[in-house]
């Protein structure tokens, strides 16, 4: 799983992204650029499910809604994908709750291959990303520190990835 990967965004992925972008812009009053950046970060997890036979997108079940877990892995269980940054891996309140409640067992840490700079994704235009490693839920819970609050007043945490 650790390594560099190259994928090509497919049409239905970009259409789905653009629908989410419009919804987020309206609901959260964010710029199109910020909304696109956020939803482009869904590409690595979706691409991994295409190329890794041990991994599938989580679409929800009787117990959990689809957004509780990014992917399910036959060995590493329920995974959440998070982008690395200089400040550390951002763990929102909802994700932190899923880690505490053992809904998610591991966090996959990744970054864009081009010095982790976001470049808008387009249909059929190649993009590369690196999977740096994995952090267990226990590690995240023990090492995450509050680094601000979201629009609802819930804590945002950061954890330094040590690969």
H-helix or E-strand spanning residue 106: strand 106-112
Question: Rounded to an integer, what distance in angstroms lies between the CA atom of residue 27 and that of residue 8?
Answer: 29
Q: Which helix (H) or strand (E) holds 143?
A: helix 137-143
Distance CA 163, CA 160 (A): 9
**The overall pTM is greater than 0.85:** yes
Closest CA to 13 of 127, 132, 130, 89: 127
Residue 20 has a pLDDT of 94
Burial class of residue 116 (count of CB atoms within 10 Å of its CB; 0-12, 13-18, 19+): middle
**pLDDT 10s per residue in the chain (163 long)?**
899 999 999 999 999 999 999 999 999 999 999 999 999 999 999 999 999 999 999 987 778 776 789 999 999 999 999 999 999 999 999 999 999 999 999 999 999 999 999 999 999 999 999 999 999 999 999 999 999 998 889 999 999 998 7
The predicted pLDDT at position 73 comes to 97
User: What is the predicted pLDDT for the residue at 66?
Assistant: 67
The per-residue pLDDT of the chain, averaged, comes to 95
């Amino acid at each position: 799983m650790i390594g560099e990967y190259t994928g090509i965004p497919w049409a239905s992925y970009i259409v789905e992204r653009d629908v989410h972008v419009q919804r987020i812009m309206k609901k959260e009053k964010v710029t199109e650029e910020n909304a696109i950046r956020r939803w482009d970060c869904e590409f690595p997890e979706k691409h991994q499910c295409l190329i890794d036979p041990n991994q599938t997108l989580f679409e929800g079940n009787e117990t959990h809604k689809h957004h509780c877990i990014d992917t399910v892995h036959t060995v590493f269980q329920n995974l959440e994908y998070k982008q690395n940054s200089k400040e550390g891996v951002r763990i929102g309140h909802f994700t932190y709750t899923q880690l505490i409640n053992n809904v998610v067992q591991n966090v996959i840490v990744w970054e864009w291959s081009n010095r982790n700079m976001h470049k808008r994704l387009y249909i059929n235009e190649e993009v590369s990303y690196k999977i740096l490693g994995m952090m267990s839920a226990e590690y995240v819970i023990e090492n995450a520190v509050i680094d601000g609050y979201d629009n609802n007043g819930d804590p945002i945490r950061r954890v330094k990835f040590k690969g």
